[in-house]
Structure 1
Amino acid sequence: MSHSTVALYRSICLAALCSLLLTACSSMPKGLSATGPVRAADDVDFFYDQTYREGDGDEVINQEVMDEILAMIDSAETLVVLDMFLYNDFAGDTAFRPLSDELTAALIRAKERHPDMPVVLITDPFNTIYGGMESPYFDRLEAAGVDVVITNLAKLPASNRTWTTLWTVCCRFLGNSTRGGWLPNPVGPGKVTLRSYLHLLNFRANHRKTLVVNNGSEWHALVTSMNPHDASSRHDNNAVTFTGPAALDLLQTERAAALMSGYDAAEFWPEAPTSSELNDDADFRLQVLTEGAIETGLLTMIDSSEAGDRIDLEMFYLASRPVIKALIRAHERGVELRVMLDPNRDAFGREKNGIPNRQAAWDLHEEGITVRWCATEGEQCHRKWIRLDRANGETQVIAGSANFTRRNLHNLNMETSVLLTVRSDHPEVIAMRDDFDRSWSNPDDTVFSLDYAEFSDHSRWRYGMYRFMEATGMSTF
C-alpha cells in the first residue's frame, strides 16, 4: 500500500473520529432545555380533538384545537409567533379538514390587518423535505410579508448518532436543491434528491407546537400536540391556553429557537418579567418546560406520587425507559394507574408494526398496570399528557408536544410542554377527568378504547427491536 493511500485512510479515520467526538459531546444550544419559573397563570383552558365511533359504527369527529388557534391569531394586534412541526398537506387525500390552508389564510389575514405587526412562523425543514421541494404554503406566507424561519437542525445534538457521525463527514456540506430530484417523495407526490433522504436519516426535529400572540392588552399562549397537517386532521389531540407572564416565558423559548436559526429580529421581542411572585388567589400555577427539562419535571412528578394518588396517561408514543420504570415504581407504591396508548398501527395510510407502544405496554401489563388502547381506524391517538390527582386534593398535569420517548425527552428533539398545578375540583380538571373517564369506559355503546388483549404483542423479537431502536435512536419515535 502506497504512502499516499495510507495517508488518505488516516485522514478519513481522523475525520470520522472527530465527527464522532463532536456528535457525542454536543449539547442543546443556548436558551433551549428551559425550565421556566413557576407562575400564577390566568385564563387557563383545555381544548380537545377526538374521533370516535357510535354503537352503530358512525364516526364522530369533534375538534376544538385549530378553532382556538385561528381565533387567537385573529385577535392579535402587535405580535404573532407560531412554531409548528408538521405544516403541509402531504398524504392529505383523505383529510377531514385542510388545516394547512386554514392556518395560512389566518396568518395572511393577520398581516393584512396589521401590516407593521411581526407575524412569524418557525417550523421544521421536513416540510420542504429538507430543502428538496418547495412549500406552496410558505411561498404564500412569505409573499404576504410573514417571516418563515426554518429551524437549523444541525445545531441540535445527534439523535441517531451512528448515522449523523457519517453524515457529518460525507454529506452535511452538500446542501440540497428543489431541482434534479429522482427518488420518490417519501410522503407525497413528486421527486426529491438523494440528499433529502440522507438528511432525513438524522431523525432530528423541531417537534414544538406553540403559539404566542399579543392582542393589544395581554399576552396569550397555546401549547398543543396538534400539527396543522391535513392528513392529521382526524387525530385526537389536546391543547392548553393561558395568559399572563407565563406566556412571555413561552416567548423566550421561541426567541431561542429563532435566534439559533438566524432570525435576528427575535432579539427585539419583549422579555419576560424577572419577578415570579405567586398570587395565592390564582387557581393555576404554571411552568413552561422545554426539551430535557420536560423529562426532569415528569420524573419528579411521577416519583412524588404516593399510595392513594391516581395517575392517568394518554400518549401517542411511550418508549422512555426512565419513564416506564418510574410508572412501575409508582404502581408498586400503591398509586392507581390508567394508561391509554395509541396502538401504533396507523400512519397516514400505511400500517405500522406496533413499536414502541405495544412493547412498552407489555412491560406495564406484566407489572399489573391497566393499559387500554385508543380505538383508532386510520387516525392516531396523538394526545400527549399525564395527570396526577393527589389524595390531598391537588392535581398536576404535564401536557404539550413531547412524546414520552428518549428522542422527545432527552435533549434531542425540540419540544415544549407545560406543568400545571391546580386543585383537583377545579372545573377544567373535572372536565379533563370526565373526558378520560368517558374514553376509558365506552359509555352508551360508544367505542373510544379497546382492551389490552386487542393489540397485545408478546413477541420477544419485536421487543428486542424496540429496545435497540430506543437506545440507539435508529427509529422515527
Structure 2
Amino acid sequence: MIWIKRIIYIILSIIVLVSIYGVFKPLPRGLAYEGEVRAVDQVEFIYDLTYEREGQVVHQQNILARILQIIAEAEEFIVLDMFLFNDDYNSSEEFPHFTAELTEALCAKKRANPDAQIIVITDEINTFYGSYLPEHLQELKGKGIEVIFTDLNQLRDSNPFYAGFWNTFLRWSGTMGQGRLPNIFSNEAPRVTLRSFLKMLNFKANHRKILITENEALITSANVHDASAYHSNIAFVVSGEIIADFLAIEEAVASLSGTTLAINWQKEVEESEVELMVLAWPEQVASKQVVLLTEKKIKEHLLEMLKEAEQGDSLWMGMFYLADRQVIKGLLQAAWRGVDIRLILDANKDAFGLEKIGIPNRPAADELLKEAGGNLKIRWYRTQGEQFHTKLVFLKGRCQSTILGGSANLTRRNLNNYNLEADLKIVADNESFLVKDLENYFQRLWYNVEGVYTVDVEEYRESALWKRLVYLIQEMTGLSSF
C-alpha cells in the first residue's frame, strides 16, 4: 500500500508541476506586443448593428463588405487572421453565408493574381481541434492559399486545473481519428473524437480578427462566421507605416506555429501625395496617433486610460464580456473621481441558440452599480438571439480622446497573456471626424435614436449571490469559457 501511495503522490506532484509551468512558461517571442506610436491621417470606424425599428428587426452590416473591398483592392499580399471562420450551425437555423463569401473572395483574388501572397491564419476551433478539415479550408489550400493553424500548445494555460491533467496524460495522443461523437456546433458537421472534446476544455484560443494588405489593415471584434453574422460589432481601418506592426504581430503567430510569413513591405509615400493631402484634408493630416497592442499590453494601456481619466471626462464602453477584477477596480476608482462613465453591455443571455445565465456581465454590473455611485450608469444591449459582440472603450477628455478597440474582451483570459488578442489604441483631437463618429455611435445606442438598441439596466440586473460567486471563481481560476 505504501508504494501505491507513493506512486499516487508522484503522479499528483507531476500534474501540479505541469500545471504551474503551463501558467508561467515563457511567452513565445513577439507576443504581448506594443507597437510604435504612429501618426496617421485617417482612421475609419465602421460597425455592424442588429436592432429593432418600427417593430422590424434591422441588420445593419458593413464590416464584411469592407473586408471584401480590401481584399479586392489588394495586389501584393493578403494576411487574414480570423478566430471563427466556418459555416457550422444547426440546419434549423438560417444565416448569411459569410464564410462562403470570404472564401470565394480569397480564391477569386488568387485566380486573378496567382503571384499574390495570400495567407490565412486561424484557430483550431474551426477544425474542432483537429478532428477534421472543413471544405472551405480545403478549397483555400487547393487554390494555393496558405492556411496556418495556430499552435495553441505554445500558449500559456488559462485553465490550469484541467490543463495539468491534459498535458500530462492526453496531449501526446493527438486528436485526429474516426470521429464518433456529435459535433456540438452543428448537427450536420462531421463527428468528432473524444480527444478533440478534451482538448477544447483547455479553453485556449487565437482570438484575433485582423486583415492586412499592402494598402490597409483592418482590426475588428467581428468573426467572419455564419452563425455570428447578426452580431453587433466594430472595426477600424488604418493605412501607412502601422501595417508593418500588423505584419510583425502576425509573423509572431506564424512563428509559434512553426512557419513564417516571409512578407517584405515598406510604405512609400511621394512628397506630392503629402502636399495633396495637406491641401485636401488639412484637418485630418497627422491629427491622430495609433498604437497596435496585443495580449497583456492591451490591459496595461486600458488601466492607464482609466487611471488618467479625471473629473469632467466622459468614458463610454461597449463590451461583450466585462469580468477582469483590475478593470472593474479601475472603473470604480474613475467613477469615484467624478468621471462620467456609461457602459453598454451584452446581457450574456444568448450563445448560438443556447440560453446563458448572465455570467459574467450581470454580477459584474450589479457590483459596479452598488459601489460606484451616481457617476456610473449601465444599459444592456437588446439582443434577440444574437450578441452585442463589440469590444470598444472611448475616453473623451477636454481636448482629445483615447479609443481602444479590437478583439479583446475584458476578462482574465483575454487580457493576461493567455489568448492571442489584438486591439488598436487611437488618440485623436476632439474635433476630428473620428471622435464625432464615436460620439454619434454611442449616443445612438444609449438614447435609442431611430431604433431600439438598449434597455434599462433593471431589465436584466441580478443580485444573486450564487451567480457572483460563480463569476468570481470562474474568472480567478479559468474554469470558464469567457
**TM-score after normalising by structure 2:** 0.93
How many residue pairs end up in the alignment? 462
Alignment partners' CA distance in 2, 1:442 and 1:92:
32
Matched, 1:315 2:319: yes
Partners of 2:12 and 2:462 in 1: CA distance: 42
Residue 270 of structure 1, CA deviation: 3.7
Give matches, 1:106-255, under 5 Å. 106-177=105-176, 179-189=177-187, 190-214=190-214, 219-255=215-251
The within-5 A match list for 1:332-343 is 332-343=336-347
Amino acid at match of 1:72: I
Change (3 A) 1:272 1:193: farther
Give the secondary-structure state (helix, strand or coil) at the position aligned to 2:303.
helix
CA distance in 1, matches of 2:285, 2:349: 46
Task: Determine the structure 1 residue equivalent to 2:256.
Answer: 260
Q: Does 1:50 align with 2:54?
A: no
1 CA distance for matches of 2:185 and 2:413? 21
Where does residue 460 of structure 1 map in the other structure? Answer: 465
CA displacement at 1:20 relative to structure 2: 2.5
Residue equivalent to 2:380? 373
Q: Give 1:345's match in structure 2, choosing from 338, 343, 349.
A: 349
Does the CA-based 8 Å contact 2:90-2:185 persist in structure 1? Answer: no
Change in 2 beyond 3 A, CA 1:269/1:9: farther
Shift of 1:132: 1.1
Residue 41 of structure 2 aligns to a residue in which SS?
Answer: strand
SS of the equivalent of 2:204 reads: coil
Structure 1 match to 2:66:
68
SS at match of 2:42: strand
Match of 2:479 among 452, 457, 474: 474
Aligned to 1:390: 397
Structure 1 residues 333 and 194 mapped into 2: Cα distance closer, same or farther (>3 Å)? same
- Once the two structures are TM-superposed, the CA of residue 121 in structure 1 deviates from its matched residue by 0.4
Moved beyond 6 Å, runs of 4+: none
Kindly provide the CA deviation profile for residues 75-116 of structure 1, in whole angstroms up to 9, marking residues without a partner as x: 111110000000011226434411111110111111112112
Whether the 8 Å CA contact 2:100–2:136 is kept in 1: the answer is: yes
Cα deviation, 1:359-416, whole Å, max 9, x if unaligned, reads: 111111112321000010011000100000002x201100000001111011110000
Q: CA offset at residue 18 of structure 1?
A: 3.5
User: Which shows bigger deviation, 201-210 or 87-96?
Assistant: 87-96
The amino acid that maps onto 1:439 is L
Paired residues of 2:41 and 2:285 also in contact (CA < 8 A): no
Q: What amino acid does structure 1 have at the position aligned with 2:48?
A: D
Structure 2: distance between partners of 1:272 and 1:2: 69
Residues 1:406 and 2:412 aligned together: yes
In structure 2, what is the Cα distance between the partners aligned to 1:159 and 1:221? 29
Q: 1:450 — aligned with what?
A: 455
- CA RMSD, aligned part only? 1.7
1:183 aligns to what SS in structure 2? coil
Which residue in the other structure is 2:97 paired with? 98
Question: The residue matched to 2:315 in structure 1 has which SS?
Answer: strand
* SS of equivalent residue, structure 1 residue 184: coil
> How far 1:28 moved relative to its partner?
2.1
Partner secondary structure for residue 230 of structure 2? coil
Alpha-carbon distance, 1:281 to partner: 4.5
The DSSP-based 3-state class of the residue aligned with 1:443 is coil
What CA distance in whole angstroms lies between the structure 1 residues aligned with 2:388 and 2:153? 30
| 2:268 paired with 1:294 | no
Change (3 A) 1:14 1:323: closer
2:271: which partner in 1?
A: none
Mind listing any 5+ residue stretches in structure 2 that lack a counterpart? 269-277, 279-283
Structure 1 contact 259–267 (Cα < 8 Å) conserved: no
**Alpha-carbon distance between aligned partners in 2 of 1:356 and 1:13, rounded to the nearest angstrom:** 32
Q: Deviations over 1:143-181 (max 9, x none)?
A: 00110000000000001011111101110101011x422
Distance (Å, rounded) in 1 between the aligned partners of 2:16 and 2:475: 24
* Counterpart residue type for residue 233 of structure 1: A
Letter in 1 for 2:185: V
Residue 212 of structure 1 aligns to a residue whose secondary structure is: strand
Amino acid at match of 1:441: Y
Going from structure 1 to structure 2, the CA distance change for 1:112 and 1:16 (only over 3 Å counts) comes to same
CA distance, structure 2, for counterparts of residue 110 and residue 250 of structure 1:
21
SS of corresponding position for 1:171: helix
Structure 1 portions without partners, runs of 5+:
274-278
Q: 1:2 to 1:449 in 2, by over 3 A?
A: closer
Partner Cα distance (2:22, 2:339) in 1? 40
The partner residue of 2:366 within 347, 359, 362 is 362
Deviation, 1:10, is 5.4
Task: String of CA shifts for 1:224-249, please: whole Å, max 9, x gaps.
Answer: 00001101100100000000011111
Match of 1:430 among 431, 436, 446: 436
Residues 1:95 and 1:245: Cα distance change in structure 2 (over 3 Å): farther
- Residue 276 of structure 1 aligns with which residue? none
Q: What does 1:3-22 correspond to in 2, within 5 Å?
A: 5=4, 8-9=7-8, 11-22=10-21
When residues 382 and 24 of structure 1 are mapped into structure 2, their CA distance, relative to the original with a 3 A threshold, is: closer
